[in-house]
Amino acid sequence: MDSILVRGGNTLSGQIPIAGAKNACLTLMPATLLSEEPLTLTNAPRLSDIKTMTMLLQSLGAEVTSMQDGKVLAMSSHDITSTRAEYDIVRKMRASILVLGPLLARFGEATVSLPGGCAIGARPVDLHLTGLEALGATLDLSDGYVHAKASGGLKGGRVKLAFASVGATENILMAATLAKGTSVIENAAREPEIVDLAKCLRAMGAQIEGDGTSEITVEGVDRLHGATHQVVTDRIELGTYMLAPAFAGGEVECLGGRIELVEAFVDKIRAAGLDVTETDRGLKVARTNGRVHAVDVTTEPFPGFPTDLQAQMMAMLCLAEGTSTLEEKIFENRFMHAPELQRMGAKIDVRGGTAKVTGVESLRGAPVMATDLRASVSLILAGLAAKGETRVNRVYHLDRGYENVERKLSALGADIERISE
């Protein structure tokens, strides 16, 4: 099993290209099921999760061709042979549930296994299901599968989400594009990935208004056509690499970055003492005045502080002057990286959904274990600042969401390598 070895102490300098968003691409790929015409995605990230979604779509009969070293995905669903998404593939990734809405909308039926994914909370799919029921679907849960039918086609309806769930908003939005009549999603998620999906669907002929706000209105159409769409920049990878100079010092320019994708995050890291400036090509970040300062962080749905940057932020605050409080309001069980950071000398007190972090002057290298995707990269970042060697084990999580971490950080001057055993 692969591990990442980091030797701390090197100052970083240079440019780092930010990939297309994993969470956006995993949503855009199932959109191909809505049309028999081709859908092409550019700026696609090269990740194991993308390969898993490719396998899932191919198992349904869709054609998916990876081109230009994986940065372009050419897809076609003109000859779908199955509307059943099997457990063996779906269990690997929670985003697999996003084939449910498109299959149901276009074919009037779908059978989808309940999904798996990393263990950072229950993340139930009930909001997806109640939303589809509001559009006229009949659902039955048995033997670990969702059996959905809409024999006369989906019908427009009003969906009020109990929580601004990104996945539920995406699933319902895709389904509503082919429903008869008008659909309204209340308390919709506002994330950039939602806006990116709506932009793609409009390019395919969908009639959508209000994306990026808490109320989205969809006027159903009879069919969608093909399109070419560029995947939005990955705001989580962007935020991750923006933090790198906080650990190692120096200055890093994140190519493709935009403030509006990570505004709440930028506010916090500026308050902590990092310099963030916009350039013609992206965002430049530097740590210029010694240690960072303590700040308090509460994760919230967009446009609040992203839960997917909480682990990385905690790692940075382990080195801050003062005591910080992090409150996790999105997912339970998302402080599993804290004990691993403690192995490196961090002072963290976790009580329920709140973690109190008292900064220390330095961390020490240690063997640590990644518990989920974002925890993986938080430990690598901590290793950049630690004295000695840090070995991050179980990095198969990492490959689900970050492409070529060791290559990108090495190009900035980090002493980092992947070890295969």
Indicate which residues carry an active-site annotation. Answer: 118
- Tokens 């396998």 belong to residue: 55
Question: 17: exposed, middle or buried (C-beta count within 10 Å: 0-12, 13-18, 19+)?
Answer: middle
Residue 375's SS3 state is: helix
8 A C-beta contact, residue 230 and residue 24? no
CA distances in angstroms from 246 to 56, 181, 378, listed in the order given: 39, 51, 12
Distance, in Å, from the CA atom of 305 to the CA atom of 50, rounded to the nearest integer, reads: 25
Characterise 231 by phi-psi region: left (phi > 0), alpha (psi -120 to 50), beta (else): beta
Torsion angle of C-alpha atoms 337, 340, 342, 343, degrees rounded to 10: -170
CA distance 131 to 183: 11
How far is Cα of residue 324 from the mean position of the Cα atoms in its chain?
Answer: 25
Of 161, 199, 165, 164, the closest CA to residue 183 belongs to 161
Q: Which strand (E) or helix (H) includes residue 112?
A: strand 109-113
Contacts of 284 (CB under 8 A, 6+ apart): 251, 252, 253, 254, 275, 276, 277, 278
Query: In 203-361, which ranges are E strands?
Result: 207-209, 215-219, 227-230, 250-255, 275-278, 282-287, 297-298, 323-327, 347-351, 354-358
Cα torsion angle, 410, 412, 413, 416, sign:
negative
Q: Count CB-CB contacts under 10 A for residue 241.
A: 29
Which residue is associated with the tokens 């989400």?
161
Element (H, E) at 6: strand 3-7
